Structure 1
């Protein structure tokens, strides 16, 4: 009985950690959408903001990868 409760908690925690992977997609979409909105308002400044776009996307995606790794660790360790 106790083994099944511990296993249930393990999978429940992994599922909650996996939510972060889905939220990373929302973060990347928000960053890209805000960049596009700003680029359409001021096209001459868009070229100077491209580096910030990629940095923002990388940070948002890194958080999703970390959440995925935590989910894998909770499932298999």
Structure 2
């Protein structure tokens, strides 16, 4: 199976409560908390599309879209 290639991070800022779980779990440190204490993808080029942030977000505020998802 081919490795999924990241296309987009979708972070629903209205749903994000700023818990920081996604930031702590990201193995490549792609996500950070911004000045409003909301998650933001600051280094999307480093993302390996592991989807840990998406799976562990308690608010379902993160969706990782890959090229594979569109097929």
Give 1 or 2 for the bigger CA radius of gyration.
1
Structure with greater proportional helix content: 1
Give the TM-score normalised by the residue count of structure 1: 0.23
Structure with greater proportional strand content: 2
| Greater relative contact order (Cα < 8 A, sep 6+) | 1
